[in-house]
Amino acid sequence: MPDVTLSALAAQLFTGLVLGGILVLLAIGLSLIFGLMTVVNFAHGSFYMLGAYVGFFLLAYTKNFWVALVVAPLVVGTLGLVVERLLIRPLYGRSPNDPLLLTFGLSLVLVEAVKLVAGKVGLTLDPPAALAGAIDLGFMMFPAYRIFVVLVTAVVLVALWLFLEKTNVGLVVRAGSRDALMVRALGIDLGRVWLVVFGLGIAMAGLAGILAGPLRGVYAEMGFEIIIEAFVVVVVGGMGSLLGAVVAGLLIGEVVSLTTYFAPKLAEIVVFIVMAVVLLTRPSGLFGEAGRAE
């Protein structure tokens, strides 16, 4: 075990926050989509990967990171709308396993398609010059770009919260995830809400992807690695619970980060241990409601 200094510990905690932030962005989308439509979107990681690739090409074309950061999630989100309409919608009413299987197949197709288009070797996505370098936080140096990632995550979360709590569409989303039948009885077209939510969740995955690109590199399989962690976050937080996704995302981020530092051998196992323990003691996850997702 390495000797612990305060600054190393602080740096590791902050690193956990960065990882946690990216997991939260993914897990919220997964959880929203599941909560509203009981679709387990296995392709979520592939949209995350697409976000990074689209960001890379936008950056190469426009030479402007900020444009890429805004446009990439929109492009990916639009693709999400198409996928919902063409592929997911025909499966509503069938076994809940079918969307899971379909999106699993879709994730393979997307990864292979990206390899055909963009090549098999990974790409490097550079952060903008303004965020290159490290910032002196007094007790330690920390790369500016990572601080930026945490800030973006926080802003997106606040915006999402306002959307769900303060707008009419948000109200319908919340109601629809609680009791779809009742909402429909009130004469509201849930199909359109589903479309919006699916697109929104996918766009957030795309945002997570372009944010993660400069940290972890851009490669076709990047989504496979993180999707399993994102699933764990959703399950630990409670399927369909947004608060759960946030808390569990940050928790998993910190746990992984600290384990990587103190016991690298356990870093890959620890998320599953956390998940197994949570599920066996609190069967519906930390914030889940009993009886859902069965």
Partner 1 sequence: MNRRTFLSSTTATVAVLGFPAILRAQGGPLRIGFPLPLTGPFAAIAADQQRGAQLAVEELNTKGGILGRKVEVLFRDDELKPATGAQRTKELIENQNVDFVVGGLAAHVQMAINEQTKKAGRLFISISQSDEISAKPDTSPITFHEALNPTITGRAVGGWGVQNLGKRWWIVYADYAWGKQNNAVFSDVVKKAGGTVLGNTPYPLGKPEFSAHIPRIQAAKPEVLLAATPGADGVAFMKQAISFGMKKEMKIIVPLHFLFAAKEGGADLFADVYGGTNFYWELAETIPQAKRFVDAFTKKFGAPPDGYAGYGYSGILEVARGVTLAKSTDSAKVADTLRKNPTYDHYKGKQYWRACDNKSFQDLWLTKGRPQAKGEWGYFEVAGKVPADEKLERTCAEKGHA
Partner 2 sequence: MIRGLLARVAAWVAAHPVLSIVAFFAALPFVVPYPSLATQMLVYGLFALGFNLLYGYTGLLSFGHAAYWGLGAYGAGIALARLGWTSLWAALALGVLSAGIGGAIVGFFALRRRGIYFAMLTLAFAQLLYFVAFHLADLTGGDDGLRGIPQLPLGLFGLSIPLSSPLAFHYFALALAALAVAGLQRVLHSPFGRVLAAIRENDDRATACGYDVTRAKLLSFVFSALITGLAGSLDALRLNVVPVEALFWSTSGQVVIMTLLGGSGTFFGPFVGAGTVLLLGDRLSLVLVDSWPIVIGTVFVMFVLFLPRGIWGTLTGGFHGH
Tokens for 208, please give them. Answer: 């997570």
Are the C-beta atoms of 129 and 66 separated by less than 8 Å?
A: no
Residue from 105, 133, 191, 283 in contact with partner 1 (CB under 8 A) = 133
178 binds partner 1 (CB under 8 A): no
Q: Which residues does 199 contact at the CB level (< 8 Å), separation at least 6? A: 77, 78, 80, 81, 84
d(CA 126, CA 207): 15
**Of 168 and 281, which has the nearer Cβ to partner 2?**
281
Q: Pick out residues in 200-219 that bind partner 1 (CB under 8 A).
A: 215-217, 219
Give the phi and the psi of residue 28 in degrees, each rounded to 5.
-65, -45
Question: Angle at the Cα of 250 (from 71 to 233), degrees rounded to 5?
Answer: 85
CB of 115 to partner 1, least distance (A): 7
Residue 142: CB atoms within 10 A of its CB come to: 18
Q: Using CB distances below 5 to 8 A depending on partner kind, what does residue 116 bind out of partner 1, partner 2, none?
A: partner 2
Residue from 5, 62, 64, 97 in contact with partner 2 (CB under 8 A) = 97
Are the C-beta atoms of 85 and 195 separated by less than 8 Å?
A: yes
Are the C-beta atoms of 16 and 253 separated by less than 8 Å?
A: yes
3 state SS of 293: coil
Tokens for 198, please give them. Answer: 């699916």
CB of 116 to partner 2, least distance (A): 6
Interface map 218-257 toward partner 1 (x if CB under 8 A) = -x-x---x-------------------------------x
Q: How far is CA 21 from the centre of its chain?
A: 9
CB of 18 to partner 1, least distance (A): 9
Point out which span in 7-15, 211-219, 229-237, 248-256 binds partner 2 (CB under 8 A). Answer: 229-237
Number of residues that bind partner 1 (CB under 8 A): 34
Point out which span in 113-121, 152-160, 197-205, 210-218 binds partner 2 (CB under 8 A). Answer: 113-121
CB of 145 to partner 1, least distance (A): 8
Point out which span in 6-14, 32-40, 65-73, 241-249 binds partner 1 (CB under 8 A). Answer: 6-14
**Which own/partner contact pairs does 126-134 have at CB distance under 8 Å and 24+ positions apart?**
126/59, 126/214, 127/65, 127/214, 128/65, 128/66
Tokens for 173, please give them. Answer: 């989303």
What is the sign, positive or negative, of the torsion defined by CA atoms of 196, 69, 52, 274?
A: negative
117 binds partner 2 (CB under 8 A): no
149 binds partner 1 (CB under 8 A): no
94 binds partner 1 (CB under 8 A): no
Pick the closest to residue 217 from 128, 133, 122, 149 (CA basis).
122
Binding site for partner 2 (CB under 8 A): 34, 40, 87, 90-91, 94, 96-98, 100-102, 104-106, 108-109, 112-113, 115-116, 228, 231-232, 235, 239, 265, 268-269, 272-273, 275-276, 279-280, 283, 293-294
Binding site for partner 1 (CB under 8 A): 2, 5, 7-8, 11-12, 15, 19, 115, 120-122, 124, 132-134, 140-143, 146, 215-217, 219, 221, 225, 257, 260-261, 264-265, 267-268
